Amino acid sequence: MTRPLRARIDLAALRHNHSVARRHAGATALWCVVKANGYGHGQVRVAEALAGVADGFALLELDGAETLRAAGIRQPLLMMEGFYSEDELPQFARLRLIPVLHSPAQVRWLVDSPLLADLNEPLPVYLKLNTGMNRLGFDAADFRQALTLLRASPRVAGITLMTHFADADEPAGIARQMARFDALRGGIADMADGLPLCLANSAALLRFPEALGGAGDWARPGIMLYGCSPCPELHSAADLGLKPVMNLESEVLAVRQLATGDAVGYGSAFVAPGPMRIGIAAGGYGDGYPRHAPSGTPVMVAGRRSRLVGRVSMDKVCVDLTDLPDAGVGAPVTLWGDGAAGHLPLEEVAAAAGTISYEPLCALTARVPVVVVERAS
């Protein structure tokens, strides 16, 4: 008998969420972001499911790009941190990868490296501008020089300008960074005008149409493709018309009666305030469930909403069955998503654990069996 924990990946829900992104994008093309193993859903699995509708895929990992090409993915591939060293340039040329350039060193490698002396076809590139995130990207002082070198290089087929918003999912929005972006472009309008743009992530795509552009421009939906709201404090996934793609399902393994004062789990972090009935379900931080999810974190059991009690352990969680007298061993448990036990938005679980939905998705471990379905209508 196998351990009763599984992640059900709903590819129909994935394509539905892409259609939501497409509707918001209008004429703007879409990079489907599949970094971090497709946000834990399987990079190749996601790319193959979207191959018939995606304009291109965006990722970070060079080995991932190699795997996608070997799997037959022919769409453009955007490498969101470019190449990490000069010796990666031949692979970029061979695989026809589009680098995002964010440093002067990358520009110099691309235009000067002898490793590209035999380049048969020039590469499109993205030039990333720092507009306030202050991670990667060119500031004003280096922007003109980088653009000058790239425009003059026969190795460059075309240039797209890109930035990344820090507050698109927050009330502050994107106005400050948009103003900074416009100022950077305006400072060298003679060189930057007319270049295509790639600005909007999931939150900006859904909330700020002014970040989209139009034909020839691109947006980068990520978390919304996987059915989670990029701005859960403002809009739920259901509000946005998104459907969960990963559904983590379990079962009750055992049932225990507690007396007043009985403690549950490591550290005796939960103490029964009165007589209780609890269930022990498969699934813990060894599977990717957030270890810091506290007592009270929502869980669905046999079609009814309940809560965790006690600390999450490596392999198990404990759930309150006090008000669920019919739920016993074998009762279905939904840890997040749409499961046999009912619907539970991952955003609620993540919020209770003090994190965001991205983290548990990406944290799903290899020991969790994955079942692929086509269920969403």
DSSP letters spanning 329-355? TT-EEEEEEEETTEEE-HHHHHHHTTS
Beta-carbon-side half-sphere exposure of residue 145 (alpha carbons within 13 Å): 12
Q: What is the pLDDT of residue 205?
A: 97
Cα 125 to chain centroid distance, Å, stands at 23
Q: Which of these, 374, 367, 313, 310, lies nearest to 6 by C-alpha position?
A: 367
SS3 assignment, position 287: helix
Q: CB within 8 A of 1, min separation 6: which ones?
A: none
The CA distance from 61 to 84, in Å, is: 10
How many other CB atoms are found less than 10 A from the CB of residue 296? 11
Section 371-376 average pLDDT: 88
Residue 97 contacts residue 65 (beta carbons within 8 Å): yes
The CA distance from 313 to 26, in Å, is: 46
Q: What is the pLDDT of residue 191?
A: 86
Section 165-187 average pLDDT: 95
Q: What is the pLDDT of residue 377?
A: 57
Q: What is the pLDDT of residue 120?
A: 87
Residue 361 contacts residue 35 (beta carbons within 8 Å): no
Q: Phi/psi zone of residue 43: left (φ > 0), alpha (ψ -120 to 50 degrees), beta?
A: alpha
Helix (H) or strand (E) holding 99: strand 97-101
Count of residues making up the chain: 377
Residue 308: DSSP 8-state: B
| pTM (predicted TM-score) | 0.96
How far separated are the first and last CA of the chain, in Å rounded?
Answer: 32
Q: Rg of the chain over CA atoms, in angstroms? A: 24
pLDDT digits (tens, 9 = 90+) for 126-151: 999 999 999 999 999 899 999 999 99
- What residues are labeled active site? 35, 266
Residue 1 has pLDDT above 70, yes or no: no
Burial 325-336 (b: 16+ CB within 10 A, else e): eebeeebbbbbb
Q: Domains plus CATH for the chain?
A: 11-226 (3.20.20.10), 246-373 (2.40.37.10)
Above pLDDT 70, what percent of the chain? Answer: 99
pLDDT digits (tens, 9 = 90+) for 87-132: 999 999 999 999 999 999 999 999 999 999 988 899 999 999 999 9
Residue 219 contacts residue 31 (beta carbons within 8 Å): yes
Angle at 372 between CA 370 and CA 375, to 5 degrees: 135
pLDDT digits (tens, 9 = 90+) for 202-243: 999 999 999 999 999 999 999 999 999 999 999 999 999 999
pLDDT digits (tens, 9 = 90+) for 288-311: 999 999 999 999 999 999 999 999
Q: CB within 8 A of 249, min separation 6: which ones?
A: 5, 6, 7, 8, 332, 333, 334, 335, 337, 339, 340, 341
Per-residue confidence band for 192, with pLDDT thresholds at 50, 70 and 90: confident
Angle at 361 between CA 132 and CA 287, to 5 degrees: 135
Task: Give the position of tokens 């259901």.
Answer: 238
